[in-house]
């Protein structure tokens, strides 16, 4: 069957038009953020420099892309139209189904739609896994740096034990397909997903232990919501069917948390060892505050700058790692539209104009670039503070 094609200019216009929800969202959010930047604290200060504006714009671009994927993408990422196999960019699908703006892959799927839907996977796994790694690292790093001695020795030894493994080898061992037949991923998930519950329960208790009218509702919310999410993620037993994670995604999630939390632990430990010598910490000790109150309400808020910067960089590292794992066919399902798998599927094709591996590659690169720019702007702002 002879395919019809649209020209390069029409492809560019078509791509820009498909992203109309993103442009609208960026205009509203960036415009409002710039106008009210003086009232938005640290986030507002990002708009004082071009680097910060660029970083925020790129990150919001991919966030809105993930949110409006079903509107932006003209095709289902798994849909196959046989005549569109290895189609060149701008190929018009038969029967008026639409246009393969970036062409088709070897399985006749739309490259543009797969790139768009791939943003959902990245923006769910990378930030969420980084957040859990921060919870684990902070919860263990605070007592290690504050107490020192035997506590520090034991926790530092465990962290160094994980850091001693080569990262790629560690991930290969944790995401190989056969590992899901063992209790290792679910055991690690059951351990790691407890840390946010422990963290927030301790946070609220130390703050409001003498104010039961505030403590009890907050503790109830923490235990109910935390237990609900914990049951859904670890046991896939959410009675409402809302909280769910596929086994392949759980595998990668656990691997990222396991490999990243020791690095967060070392950063937190070093910050605590420095901050605990400050006068306001001594004043809190003089008032008779408990160690965990001092760690969570005196030391941790003053360590937030470096931790926010590290979180941005760590999300970028995780994004690159997801792409690497997808390229080698590890972790996610083979039909997944994640950017790494899309690059792998297109890597053996040779054609002109727009290579099918180019869109997911540029997407991955631009998102990581945005996170790095955001981290640079936050680092500059933290130095000013």
Res 338: pLDDT: 86
Domain boundary among 293, 316, 339: 316
Q: Which domain holds residue 18?
A: 4-117+349-384
Domain boundary among 298, 316, 334: 316
Res 353: pLDDT: 52
Residue written as tokens 């995604």?
249
Structure pTM?
Answer: 0.88
**Residue 61 is encoded by which pair of tokens?**
């671009």
Run of H or E residues at 98: strand 98-100
Which of 385, 381, 383, 315 is CA-nearest to residue 53?
Answer: 381
Domain contains 334: no
Domain contains 298: yes
Which of 114, 83, 141 is CA-nearest to residue 265?
Answer: 141
Domain contains 222: yes
Domain boundary among 272, 299, 316: 316
240 and 258: one domain? yes
112 and 147: one domain? no
144 and 179: one domain? yes
Identify the sign of the CA torsion 53, 54, 58, 64. positive
The CA distance from 258 to 228, in Å, is 22
Domain contains 167: yes
167 and 56: one domain? no
312 and 173: one domain? yes
88 and 133: one domain? no
93 and 146: one domain? no
143 and 94: one domain? no
Cβ 112 vs Cβ 102: under 8 Å? yes
Residue ranges in 7-75 assigned as alpha helix (H): 8-18, 20-35, 41-45, 50-67, 69-72
Res 175: pLDDT: 74
219 and 282: one domain? yes
The CA distance from 152 to 292, in Å, is 15
181 and 270: one domain? yes
Domain contains 340: no
Domain contains 237: yes
The CA distance from 105 to 334, in Å, is 14
Res 179: pLDDT: 66
Domain contains 330: no
Q: CA of 306: how far to CAs of 47, 224, 311, 373, 381, in Å?
A: 19, 31, 9, 15, 11
Cβ-based burial of 48 (10 A; exposed 0-12, middle 13-18, buried ≥19):
middle
Q: Mapping DSSP to helix (H, G, I), strand (E, B) and coil, where does residue 329 land?
A: coil
Res 349: pLDDT: 59
101 and 191: one domain? no
Digit-by-digit pLDDT tens for the chain (385 residues) are 577 888 889 999 999 999 999 999 999 999 999 999 888 888 898 998 899 999 999 999 999 999 999 999 999 998 888 888 888 888 888 877 789 988 888 888 898 999 999 999 889 889 999 999 999 999 999 999 999 999 999 999 999 998 888 777 777 777 776 666 677 778 888 899 999 999 999 999 999 999 999 999 999 999 999 999 898 888 888 777 788 877 777 888 888 898 899 999 999 999 999 999 999 999 999 999 999 999 999 999 999 888 999 999 999 988 888 888 887 777 677 788 888 888 887 766 555 556 777 888 899 999 999 999 999 998 887 766 5
Res 305: pLDDT: 85
Cβ-based burial of 169 (10 A; exposed 0-12, middle 13-18, buried ≥19):
exposed
Convert 218-247 to b/e letters by CB count within 10 Å (16 or more is b). Answer: bbeebeeebebbbebbbeeeeeeeeeebee
Q: CA of 13: how far to CAs of 116, 272, 298, 343, in Å?
A: 16, 52, 53, 24
Instruction: Give how many domains the chain has, as a whole number.
Output: 2
71 and 202: one domain? no
Domain contains 153: yes
């Amino acid at each position: 069957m002879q395919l019809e094609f649209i020209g390069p200019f029409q492809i560019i216009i078509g791509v820009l038009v498909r992203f109309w929800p993103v442009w609208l969202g960026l205009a509203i959010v960036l415009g409002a953020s710039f106008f009210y930047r003086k009232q938005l604290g640290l986030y507002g200060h990002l708009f004082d420099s071009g680097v910060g504006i660029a970083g925020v714009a790129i990150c919001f671009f991919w966030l809105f892309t993930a949110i409006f994927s079903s509107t932006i993408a003209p095709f289902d990422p798994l849909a196959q139209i046989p005549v569109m196999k290895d189609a060149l960019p701008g190929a018009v699908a038969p029967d008026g189904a639409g246009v393969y703006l970036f062409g088709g892959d070897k399985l006749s799927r739309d490259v543009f739609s797969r790139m768009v839907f791939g943003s959902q996977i990245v923006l769910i796994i990378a930030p969420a896994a980084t957040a859990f790694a921060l919870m684990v690292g902070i919860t263990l790093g605070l007592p290690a740096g504050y107490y020192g001695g035997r506590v520090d020795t034991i926790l530092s030894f465990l962290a160094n034990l994980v850091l001693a493994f080569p990262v790629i080898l560690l991930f290969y061992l944790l995401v190989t397909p056969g590992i899901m037949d063992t209790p290792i991923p679910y055991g690690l998930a059951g351990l790691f997903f407890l840390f946010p519950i422990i963290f927030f329960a301790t946070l609220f208790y130390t703050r409001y232990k003498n104010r039961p009218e505030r403590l009890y509702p907050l503790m109830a919310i923490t235990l109910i919501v935390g237990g609900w999410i914990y049951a859904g993620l670890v046991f896939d037993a959410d009675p409402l069917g809302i909280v769910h994670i596929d086994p392949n995604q759980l595998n990668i999630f656990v691997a990222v948390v396991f490999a990243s939390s020791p690095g967060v632990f070392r950063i937190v430990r070093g910050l605590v060892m420095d901050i605990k010598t400050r006068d306001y910490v001594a004043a809190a000790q003089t008032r008779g505050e408990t160690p965990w109150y001092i760690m969570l309400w005196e030391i941790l808020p003053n360590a937030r700058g470096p931790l926010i910067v590290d979180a941005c960089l760590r999300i970028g590292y995780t994004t690159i790692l997801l792409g690497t794992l997808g390229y080698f066919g590890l972790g996610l399902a083979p039909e997944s539209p994640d950017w790494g798998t899309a690059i792998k599927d297109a890597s053996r094709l040779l054609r002109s104009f727009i290579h099918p591996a180019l869109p997911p590659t540029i997407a991955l690169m631009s998102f990581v670039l945005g996170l790095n720019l955001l981290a640079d702007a936050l680092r500059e702002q933290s130095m000013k503070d």
